Structure 1
């Protein structure tokens, strides 16, 4: 028998990108709304007074008051093995990798370590309202097995992959083109499409993969075209110059990936701070997406992403924390940094665009918008209940809010994990703030 769940409260979800349709046409809002969930999927959403008479007699209703119910947040790029090295001091990208990242990732050859960090990682995601994510493992197969095992147990929609890295890294973290190909193939066949899990072919970034390794990654993507491609692109100026030296025959950084067949509608490139207009056009033509990581871009001093250019070129963009260079698991805190980076670019960002990037925009970037990202009928019922009185300051600020725009913006600027009161996965509560 199908399980019926009814949720009542203030409901908000995105219907389209505000850059395409304008703020007012980009979302749907019910001050007193009802969401009907059947067997983990949204069956209907609308005004409570219209839907209540249609419910079966005696059905139980979960009523969330003084709260805002939104779709689960979607993080388009982060590194679960870097959880314990978050907030590491004093370096920019390339030095940061050598000083902190590589020694930390070495530990994930131990399956016990990988499992322990994976469980903590998912606890943190739930505490911050993140219900889906695209995630880096390490070069070790066991890091990916541990990740997917924990995600499957929690019924989460997650994407992950084993890092490919055969040069310009410590010997204890490198694979070979052939071993990377075979290990990735084995993991993809074991996990891709199982329950709510997907696999991503994951070169760390062009400098740590040889042409041979990137070619075999492209071969694997051709053999399994529904897999994802997940890597970094044009994060740091020194990195971009390094790529020019390593791949002198290519016209630019993105062309390194394009040359090896790594641009598809399921390719997601983190950062993309230093792209040319031609590279933005190629991103659009290929259907590839960008994971925008404002917090880590600020933390490592990498630069300010040109969101307006991505919008003009119709490139898919989703929001990302990029833990551990990002200093918070909270996509609300990430939205705060997102807004500030665009202020520095004289690009005023509406709170509805920010919500879009953290929900439906992320789903679109990950090619999952038919399954998650909003509350349209048939979507998987992953959602977050935000507490409008989470702190005295938030309560006082929202009391003065004159409309939904002010309220949403204040929650985004002042919110963090304390605002996340409940998290539901496929309709089932999986987290309740203590």
Structure 2
């Protein structure tokens, strides 16, 4: 058993925050032997139940769930911060040339270490990641995550048309490679596989059909793709799939909307599409820094609340401009204000934090497993130092409520706030 005493943040099933100024977090082996949260709550109430357990005391600091990044591109680690006129030119000028290099396993191994280092430095303990179209990129990232004991979900991109040499794959081989990767990595320790059509315009009908067949054959794997990010992209999808009611409906037609399916962006959708997400159990990965950077538009939080479908936050690096969850939460707050309807939505600090932790876990179908510090959850958590920056320390000292504390961190925080990351109950160096 390990015990930690500090302020403690976790979430109830309805998404509301549970907070203790003086909390106790107890970590111990679960039923399968993996470290899990055994107890969480107030120090005064719980401490007498665990006499003799050594306690790490961190006065003034905050214990919080590890962040979940619902959509991030591993091969775009070096693409971040590349200027372009919009999504499609950005793909052509920067993304595809960088991704072509991931056919080289040595290059993929090197970038995998940088990618995971950046995520962990910013407190992200579970990413849902795109790899490149090369199986070597998946093997590199999975092996690197396994060596660190991380929970990771990732997959090889499928793109057999409208893609340049070096990243375009071949239909039958791409599906065979995907199935082989599923068998190699799905369920190995804390790893999961995601069937990953890049986006509908980059995939032939035969490839999308094959992806849907794999999804039916392996119901425990995840599905990830992009939808309705950019108006030019939507027009293109409409031309390529004229029989589909909408861009999102293209994926439905191939059996790619279900539980454990996560679609990045979902900006330019209507209420019928929102209901489709809700009714199928699919989720949206909201990527505000990317959407702002590429001028794609604003996720409609009012529509998401009104219709009620799963969603959570994502960096979308390299279109996204930061691995930092604090930056992502702040951008989401601004996007909610703007929205697609007036007046916009004022997202609470507690909700923003939930979207990047317990809410993202629900979107992945892993609610109660990750993204929270309730009993039974896997022991991935953060020790945060709210006084890490002078202005932040000054602001936090004046906080009169949990919302004020959390919003101070969201607006002023960066990786210096993340004092220690624990994965599987163990500190990451």
What does the per-residue CA deviation read over 1:145-165, in whole Å, with 9 as the maximum and x for residues that have no partner? 000000101111110000000
Aligned twin of 1:97: 91
Aligned twin of 1:56: 51
**Secondary structure of the residue that 2:78 maps to in structure 1?**
helix
Alignment: residue pair count: 420
> Are positions 1:80 and 2:74 aligned together?
yes
How many angstroms does 1:16 deviate by?
A: 3.4
Aligned twin of 2:32: none
Identify which of 41, 44, 68 aligns with 2:39. Answer: 44
Identify which of 12, 15, 36 aligns with 1:15. Answer: 12
Structure-1 separation of matches of 2:231 and 2:346: 25
> Are positions 1:169 and 2:163 aligned together?
yes
**Secondary structure of the residue that 2:291 maps to in structure 1?**
helix
How many angstroms does 1:316 deviate by?
A: 0.2
Contact 1:138 1:163 in 2 (8 A): yes
Contact 1:200 1:227 in 2 (8 A): yes
TM-score (norm. length: structure 1): 0.95
Identify which of 298, 308, 317 aligns with 2:311. Answer: 317
Identify which of 133, 141, 145 aligns with 1:139. Answer: 133
Structure-2 separation of matches of 1:61 and 1:294: 39
> Are positions 1:178 and 2:168 aligned together?
no
Q: Which moved more, 1:244-253 or 1:295-304?
A: 244-253
How many angstroms does 1:17 deviate by?
A: 4.3
Contact 1:14 1:355 in 2 (8 A): no
Structure-2 separation of matches of 1:73 and 1:65: 22
Structure-1 separation of matches of 2:325 and 2:14: 18
**Secondary structure of the residue that 1:257 maps to in structure 2?**
helix
Structure-1 separation of matches of 2:26 and 2:13: 22
**Secondary structure of the residue that 1:75 maps to in structure 2?**
strand
Identify which of 409, 417, 424 aligns with 1:419. Answer: 417
Contact 1:384 1:423 in 2 (8 A): yes
**Secondary structure of the residue that 1:349 maps to in structure 2?**
coil
* Structure 1 unaligned residues grouped into runs of 5+: 19-25
How many angstroms does 1:197 deviate by?
A: 0.5
Aligned twin of 1:402: 400
How many angstroms does 1:394 deviate by?
A: 0.2
How many angstroms does 1:331 deviate by?
A: 0.8
> Are positions 1:373 and 2:364 aligned together?
no
State how 1:32-431 maps to structure 2 within 5 Å: 32-39=22-29, 40-57=35-52, 59-345=53-339, 346-431=344-429
Q: Structure 1 residues 17 and 317 mapped into 2: Cα distance closer, same or farther (>3 Å)?
A: farther
What does the per-residue CA deviation read over 1:66-112, in whole Å, with 9 as the maximum and x for residues that have no partner? 21111000000000110011100132101100000000001001001
**Secondary structure of the residue that 1:89 maps to in structure 2?**
coil
**Secondary structure of the residue that 2:41 maps to in structure 1?**
strand
Structure-2 separation of matches of 1:122 and 1:303: 29
**Secondary structure of the residue that 2:255 maps to in structure 1?**
coil
Structure-2 separation of matches of 1:402 and 1:56: 33
Structure-1 separation of matches of 2:388 and 2:263: 34
**Secondary structure of the residue that 1:85 maps to in structure 2?**
coil
Contact 2:288 2:298 in 1 (8 A): yes
Contact 2:368 2:374 in 1 (8 A): no
Structure-2 separation of matches of 1:175 and 1:232: 18
What does the per-residue CA deviation read over 1:188-218, in whole Å, with 9 as the maximum and x for residues that have no partner? 0000000010000001000100101000001
Structure-1 separation of matches of 2:134 and 2:224: 16
Structure-2 separation of matches of 1:275 and 1:17: 26
Q: Which moved more, 1:401-410 or 1:153-162?
A: 401-410
Contact 1:159 1:198 in 2 (8 A): yes
Structure-2 separation of matches of 1:202 and 1:177: 13
Identify which of 14, 18, 42 aligns with 1:28. Answer: 18
Structure-2 separation of matches of 1:17 and 1:180: 40
Structure-1 separation of matches of 2:63 and 2:95: 36
Structure-2 separation of matches of 1:91 and 1:155: 39
Contact 1:335 1:354 in 2 (8 A): yes
TM-score (norm. length: structure 2): 0.96
**Secondary structure of the residue that 1:62 maps to in structure 2?**
strand
How many angstroms does 1:14 deviate by?
A: 1.4
Structure-1 separation of matches of 2:151 and 2:67: 12
**Secondary structure of the residue that 2:428 maps to in structure 1?**
strand
**Secondary structure of the residue that 1:151 maps to in structure 2?**
helix
